[in-house]
Amino acid sequence: MDILQTKNLTKYYGEEPLIVKALDGITLQIEQGSFTAIVGTSGSGKSTLLHMLGGLDTPTGGSVVVDGQSLSGMSRSELTIFRRRKIGFIFQNYNLIPNLTIYDNIVLPVELDGRNVDDEFLKKIVSALGLEDKLQRKPNKLSGGQQQRAAIARALITKPALILADEPTGNLDSRTSHEVVGLLQMTGKRFHQTIVMITHNDEIAQIADRTIRIEDGRIAESRWQG
C-alpha cells in the first residue's frame, strides 16, 4: 500500500526567463513500511522535495497525498495538527530543545497533542535506541550520535504514518553515521515505520530498501534493493 504519493510536483522560483525550477515534475509513490533514501548532490532539489512531503513548504503545482489526505486542501492550523500526528521529523542538527531533558524532548509531540504517553511503547523505543541511562540528561550533555538517537525516538513516539529524515548524519563522523542510520533502519523495521531519508552520501543510502536519485529537480533513477 502506498502511504505517500506525489503527482507532478513542481516548485518554481522567479518568473520566465529567469525561472529556477527547484522541483520539476516529481511523481512518486512510497510504500508503507519501506525505507527510501533520496540521494542527490546539493542543489539537486532533494531538500525542497522533503519539505513538500512534510507540508513545510507549498508547491507551485502538483499534489502531495499522505495517508489518503491531500496536503493542498489544508489550512495552516490543519497542517500543523496533521504534521504533529502523521509525520515524524529528524533533522541534521537534531533540533532538540536545549532546556528540556531527553525524556521531555522525546514525549513532546505526544504531549503537544494532548494525548497520554504510551509508556510501554516508549520503553521499547528507548531501549532499542540505547537511551535508557540518558533520559534525565539535557541535550548538550550528549554526543552528536546520542542526540540524533533521541531525535529518532521523538520521531517514533507518535507512531506517525511517515518519518522524514533530512541529512540525519550530516553532522556526524563516518563511524557514528553508520550507527545512526543502522539504528534508524532497525527501529523502522521493528516498529513498522515508513521512512524517507535524504542524503548526499551513497554509502549511507545502501541501507535503505530503495534509492531515488534526484538531479535538477527530477527523478533520475529509482531502484529497489535487497
Partner 1 sequence: MGNEKDFSVYREYNKETLTSKVVMELEKTEEILRSRMLTSEQEKERLQRTISEIAHQVKTPLSNICMYHDMLSDSDISKDEADTFRRIISQQLEKLEFLIDSLIKSSRLESDMIRLNVENSSIFHILELAVNDIVHKAERKKIELTIRCDPDITAFCDVKWTAEAVGNILDNAVKYTPEGGNICIDACPGEVYTEIKVQDTGRGIDSGHYNDIFKRFYRESSVSKEEGLGLGLYISRNIITLQRGYIMVHSVPGRGSCFSVFLPH
Which residues bind to partner 1, rule: CB under 8 A?
1, 32-33, 69, 73-74, 77-79, 81-82, 85, 113-115, 129-130, 143, 145-146, 149, 159, 161, 175-176, 178-179, 182-183, 185-186, 192, 202-203, 206-207, 225-226
Q: Closest separation between CB of residue 115 and partner 1, Å?
A: 7
Q: Closest separation between CB of residue 25 and partner 1, Å?
A: 25
Nearest Cα to Cα of residue 28 among 48, 8, 43, 1:
8
Q: Closest separation between CB of residue 216 and partner 1, Å?
A: 21
CB nearer to partner 1: give 74 or 100.
74
* β-pair partners for 210: 36, 224
CB nearer to partner 1: give 95 or 176.
176
Nearest Cα to Cα of residue 177 among 155, 195, 203, 157:
203
CB nearer to partner 1: give 24 or 215.
215
Q: Closest separation between CB of residue 39 and partner 1, Å?
A: 12
CB nearer to partner 1: give 19 or 112.
112
CB nearer to partner 1: give 75 or 99.
75
Q: How buried is 185 (Cβ within 10 angstroms: 0-12 exposed, 13-18 middle, 19+ buried)? A: middle
Q: Closest separation between CB of residue 18 and partner 1, Å?
A: 37
Tell me how far CA of residue 14 lies from CA of 18, 62, 86, 213, in angstroms: 6, 18, 32, 25
- Looking up cell 548524519 gives 169
Q: How buried is 125 (Cβ within 10 angstroms: 0-12 exposed, 13-18 middle, 19+ buried)? A: buried
* β-pair partners for 13: 20
Whether the CB-CB separation of 21 and 49 falls below 8 Å is answered with no
Residues whose CB is less than 8 angstroms from the CB of residue 115 and which lie 6 or more positions away in sequence, other chains included: none
CB nearer to partner 1: give 67 or 216.
67
Q: Closest separation between CB of residue 192 and partner 1, Å?
A: 6
